Amino acid sequence: MNKGTLWTILGVIAAIVIAWILVELLWGVALLIVKLAVVAVVALFVFFLLRAVFSRSSSSE
């Protein structure tokens, strides 16, 4: 095995490790964005639900 082949193998291993780390980070960011979007939708739903409940109870008095 010559020196060029060794560096090629090490380069491939390093590329795989770096790609693995980047994919993990990107999945984490993507899941965080999806989670924030779901929380925003649920928060809007709860806000309008509470507003409807309190406006009904205050209008009956």
Q: Residue holding tokens 């010559």?
A: 2
Q: What is the pLDDT of residue 61?
A: 54
Note whether residue 60 is domain-resident.
no
Note whether residue 22 is domain-resident.
yes
Q: Is the pTM of this model over 0.85?
A: no
Per the structure, how many domains does the chain have?
Answer: 1
Taking the C-alpha atoms of residue 54 and residue 26, their distance in angstroms, rounded to an integer, is 42
Note whether residue 27 is domain-resident.
yes
Note whether residue 13 is domain-resident.
yes
Q: How far is CA 23 from CA 9, 33, 35, in A?
A: 21, 15, 18
Q: What is the pLDDT of residue 1?
A: 74
Q: What is the pLDDT of residue 8?
A: 95
Q: Tens-of-pLDDT digits for all 61 residues of the chain?
A: 788 899 999 999 999 999 999 999 999 999 999 999 999 999 999 999 999 999 887 665 5
Taking the C-alpha atoms of residue 51 and residue 25, their distance in angstroms, rounded to an integer, is 39
Give the domain extent around 45: 3-55
Note whether residue 61 is domain-resident.
no
